Amino acid sequence: MFKIKDSFYIVDLPGYGYAEVPEFQKFAWKEFMAEYMTQRKTLKVLFHLLDSRHGPGREDREIMKQVSKTLPSRTKYVVVLTKSDKNTKGKTKRNSGKVTDKVMETVRAAMKENGLGNTPILLTSAESKLGRDKIWRYMRLAAQS
């Protein structure tokens, strides 16, 4: 297979936080993710999507722990807070998204607990396109490496 210059692949790994599957399936996904992070030499950026209305759950904290232990230093880790437009009443073009202080503190605390304190946090919204340019910036870095 040949590679087109500046091309990249987007791989969507299972989000098992809210999945209604047996525990053995969640365990298998965790194992797969750990193997993927360590074995995939071309992995440049790992985006960890969190619902900004709720912050990190137990599984998200486990993912952060796994990332801190197994993600190679050559791979950038980025926390993406999705649905940030759902937290703001009376949205305007200038104020298309916000995350509550409580959620942001919880995210930062989870990152700090797991030695990921300098991880970038991006606010995003599919509806308002908030954060889209920042996501693309990280994808461009991956394509150019």
Domain boundaries, the chain: 48-70+100-145
Query: 118 and 74 in contact (C-beta within 8 Å)?
Result: no
pLDDT (0 to 100) of residue 145: 65
- Block mean pLDDT (10 aa), the chain, length 145: 68 74 86 90 91 90 92 93 76 62 93 94 90 91 74
Q: Within 10 Å of residue 93's Cβ, how many Cβ atoms?
A: 6
In this prediction, residue 89 carries a pLDDT of 56
> What was the pLDDT predicted at 80?
95
pLDDT at 26: 83
- Can you give the pTM of this predicted structure? 0.85
Q: Annotate the chain with three-state secondary structure.
A: CCCCCCCCCCCCCCCCCCCCCCHHHHHHHHHHHHHHHHHCCCCCEEEEEEECCCCCCHHHHHHHHHHHHHCCCCCEEEEEEECHHHHCCCCCCCCCCCCCHHHHHHHHHHHHHCCCCCCCEEECCCCCCCCHHHHHHHHHHHHHC
